[in-house]
Structure 1
Amino acid sequence: MTATKTTHPAKTVDNGVNVTALLGAREALANAPQAAQFKWRASCEWLNGTHSRSAIGTFYGLGSEQQRGKTFAIEADHPQVFASEDNAPTPVELVLSGLASCLTAGIAAVAQHRGIQIHSIKASLEADMDLYGILGIDADVRNGFGAVRVNFDIKADASEADIKALVAQSQKRSAVFDIVTNPTAVFVTVNGP
């Protein structure tokens, strides 16, 4: 982390986050608990082999169905070392990307709220996985990550302690951090033929 101390607190901070709108939403949702209940959605279609394409375009929130301006497509596949075609990142790499993106967005938002100008945020993530689990070689080996390491390189007009506090607050409020660090109930169903 690189810290540079600013001596001009009156400087306008612009990290591209509309904190006023976020705080207004927070206040409004505090008085409308039903509107705070969201349902995020994704659909996925198999293409070939281990290659699939997910579509993300609608969600439920603020008490009604919401349609995004466009539908986003995200592809997943596996590398050639898994006898696949390597058309896209693996699903586990997409999880790492989601974690990095959520924490990074949180850092920018918290910095904006605290009046800290960010110059750059770079996250590097690495996760350990023993393939004995997913390949069925050893039933005692976990299928998922054994550990995830997140490293940030942040350049901002703030002390090192303030930068560490930004990261800690982002981690505390990150939905994806919570998803990957706490058990989540997942229900899988299969429709008939």
Structure 2
Amino acid sequence: MNISASMKTVDNGVNVEALLGARTALAEMPEAAEFTWRANCEWMGGVHSRSTVEGFFGLGEEKAHRQPFVFEADHPAEFAAPDAGATPVEIVLSALASCLTAGVASVAQNRGIQLRSVRATVEGDMSLYGILGIDADVRNGFNAIRVSFDIDADATRDEIAAVVAQSQKRSAVFDIITNPGNVKVVVN
């Protein structure tokens, strides 16, 4: 009996071969896997700031992005501000959505699942009582974050759930939010 298997070709725009190659190479050179990411932030007035991301350290040397990336942060009129950019907490939520979505694309590509669309909605709840100093027992940050995915793919619901679970397991931003590391603030 002649059984021919057909390989499913998918293209989610992720070079999985390169990622797996990097994984293998870095496993043999752990010092090259140590990266330092940077952002510089400048006060623009009021509560408006501009952050620029240009370079980072990785693979044992200084690296530069192809171009600088600039992010504006501000607060809405409800905070007596001009609303010149997203709030810093909205930027955090965007980072979480972006990281998880990138993971979904990468994991789906690796598992041979063709994506047609991926949409993540992230919501974070917080009370301003902490930030405004109204109640010292209320935390300044989120007390709950919800991430909801709407994914259209050539896969079953269980396969999509497994892709999302693997993305969450490997997400740097998810880990940063759920397992914060040490943060040291200094004044130069």
Quote the residue 1:51 is aligned against.
48
Q: CA deviation at 1:107?
A: 0.3
Task: Determine the C-alpha separation between the residues in 2 that align with 1:57 and 1:119.
Answer: 32
Quote the residue 1:109 is aligned against.
106
TM-score, scaled to structure 1? 0.94
Q: Aligned match of 2:130 in 120, 133, 137?
A: 133
Task: Determine the C-alpha separation between the residues in 2 that align with 1:109 and 1:178.
Answer: 17
Give the alignment of 1:81-120 within 5 angstroms. 81-120=78-117
User: Which consecutive segments of 4 or more residues in structure 1 shift more than 2 A?
Assistant: 8-11
Task: Determine the C-alpha separation between the residues in 2 that align with 1:142 and 1:164.
Answer: 32
Count of aligned residue pairs for this structure pair: 184
In the TM superposition, what whole-angstrom CA distance separates every residue of 1:127-176 from its partner, at most 9, and x where no partner exists?
10000000000000000000000000000000000000000000000000
The 1:33–1:135 alpha-carbon spacing in structure 2 relative to 1, beyond 3 Å, is same
Q: CA deviation at 1:65?
A: 0.5
Q: CA deviation at 1:10?
A: 2.5
Quote the residue 2:67 is aligned against.
70
Quote the residue 2:170 is aligned against.
173
The 1:113–1:155 alpha-carbon spacing in structure 2 relative to 1, beyond 3 Å, is same
Quote the residue 1:30 is aligned against.
27
Structure with the larger RCO, 1 or 2 (CA within 8 Å, 6+ apart)? 1
Task: Determine the C-alpha separation between the residues in 2 that align with 1:83 and 1:67.
Answer: 37
AA of the residue aligned to 1:39: T
C-alpha RMSD of the superposition: 0.9
Q: CA deviation at 1:183?
A: 2.3
Quote the residue 2:9 is aligned against.
12
Q: CA deviation at 1:9?
A: 5.5
AA of the residue aligned to 2:173: V
AA of the residue aligned to 2:155: A
Q: Aligned match of 2:154 in 154, 157, 169?
A: 157
5+ residue gaps in structure 2?
A: none
AA of the residue aligned to 1:167: V
Task: Determine the C-alpha separation between the residues in 2 that align with 1:99 and 1:125.
Answer: 8
Task: Determine the C-alpha separation between the residues in 1 that align with 2:144 and 2:170.
Answer: 20
Task: Determine the C-alpha separation between the residues in 1 that align with 2:175 and 2:8.
Answer: 34
Partner secondary structure for residue 112 of structure 1: helix
TM-score, scaled to structure 2? 0.96
Task: Determine the C-alpha separation between the residues in 2 that align with 1:183 and 1:90.
Answer: 20
Q: Aligned match of 1:143 in 140, 144, 164?
A: 140
